[in-house]
Amino acid sequence: MSEGVAEADQPIERVGGAPDLMSKFDPVIATREALLAGGVEDPFSLVMERVLSPTKAICNGRDTILLGTYNYMGMTFDPDVIAAGERALADFGSGTTGSRVLNGTYQGHRDVEDALREFYAMDHAMVFSTGYQANLGIISTLAGKGDYIVLDIDSHASIWDGCALGNAEVVPFRHNDTEAMVKRLKRIPDGAGKLVVLEGVYSMLGDVAPLREMVGAAKEEGAMVLVDEAHSMGFIGENGRGVAEDQGVLDEVDFVIGTFSKSVGTVGGFCVSNHPKFEILRLVCRPYVFTASLPPSVVATAATSIRKLMQAGDKRAALWANSKRLHAGLRELGFTLGTEEPQSAIVAVMMPDLEHGAMMWQALLHEGLYVNLARPPATPANMTLLRCSLCAEHSEEEVETILGMFERAGKAVGII
């Protein structure tokens, strides 16, 4: 058992028979113990000892190709991005020590919001400390008690948590099913507020939402629409604005949520919108008001990265080529994938169960490849998957090397 992990079956006596509040995690502890007892490394505590580039790191003392980061556009080591961060660190210090609405708005926070307005060609942009907080804040502030949120069942945890925080009525519908969404919308009582929440790319299987039909149908039912484009920003759409842009419905979307932790290559979250009353959210959105703002170096790197992503046609093309080649190569090898065709920078490889998933994850790591092991509750329908996320900076040779690693590991573990 690894350090710091408790035994699952040690009851702890408390005064008055009060339960140990940690006992509810016993099943999770037991699953983890069983996995590690089988001799596999803990897939959820890998340490990157050094990061050499957007696609390479040293893990367990060896060179490792990174195929499980969200560094889609490879911006983390961009020289202009790094220089902007260094300048801001020197000029403005290491942190703001305050909320955006008090002492935590520096020139750099305004500048990154300007960069977002330019990137999306929208009137308003509001930056949060993470994408998680952007969903938490915007959803909970828009839809409160008595309002209805109609959302895809496979929505990200931050969307569900935003719904819970706002205390709205939550009505999920089957993944990417427009008819089911409309049916739910039609049942909402007259006069109630309605928010439909969708994602552009769903991060577990890497599949894209049919936003053209869904956004139109939601609008016909009088709902406001929020789309989380966390996994499509920078990559999908003519200007990298995401799936809504690609499918020609960005103008109909009321709120777009995004993150700096994927294509932008740093940390932070945002909402952009053309709603004329948008700016008031800065005063009423608790996860914006009651937390410290992003450090100056972070907003400076984000602004530089976002402006560079406006001119990133070549990188977008390279990323599509990588995604298509990996998808086709894995299928030829006999792996089952999350989508029939490559739809995004995520290629999900289905595993028969958690045990085989962990064995395959470890075999790939020993080959020198890092991918993400994803399992319930993060995954839909109890699936275990190895999630591969490509980077525009993976070379063609690296993609071929990756396919060789999958072939050897898959045969060793008995998956192909």
Q: Walk across the sheet containing 369-370 and list its strands.
A: 48-53, 56-59, 62-66, 369-370
Alpha carbon dihedral 172, 132, 358, 345, in 10-degree steps, equals 90
The answer to whether 199 and 156 are in contact (CB under 8 A) is yes
Q: Provide the residue type at 214 as one letter.
A: M
Residue 269 is a binding residue for ligand PLP (CB under 6 A): yes
- CB of residue 381 to ligand PLP, shortest distance in Å: 18
Closer CB to ligand PLP, 127 or 409, in the complex: 127
Closer CB to ligand PLP, 271 or 363, in the complex: 271
End-to-end CA distance of the chain: 30
**Distance of alpha carbon 359 from its chain centroid, rounded?**
25
**Contacts (CB under 6 A) with ligand PLP, residues 185-204:** 199, 203
CA distances from 359 to 237, 363, 365, 384, 415 (A): 37, 6, 10, 12, 10
Residue 235 is a binding residue for ligand PLP (CB under 6 A): no
> Strands 255-259 and 269-273: what pairing?
antiparallel
Closer CB to ligand PLP, 124 or 231, in the complex: 231
Closer CB to ligand PLP, 43 or 329, in the complex: 43
Q: Is 173 helix (H, G, I), strand (E, B) or coil?
A: strand
The residue nearest ligand PLP at its CB is 131
Residue 261 is a binding residue for ligand PLP (CB under 6 A): yes
Query: By CB under 6 A, which span of 209-217, 223-231, 304-312, 349-357 interacts with ligand PLP?
Result: 223-231
Q: Is 223 helix (H, G, I), strand (E, B) or coil?
A: coil
Query: By CB under 6 A, which span of 75-83, 90-98, 228-236, 319-327 interacts with ligand PLP?
Result: 228-236
**Contacts (CB under 6 A) with ligand PLP, residues 151-170:** 156, 158
Locate 17 and state its tokens: 């028979």
Residue 385 is a binding residue for ligand PLP (CB under 6 A): no
Residue 135 is a binding residue for ligand PLP (CB under 6 A): yes
**Which residues contact ligand PLP by CB under 6 A?**
130-132, 135, 156, 158, 199, 203, 228, 230-231, 259, 261, 269
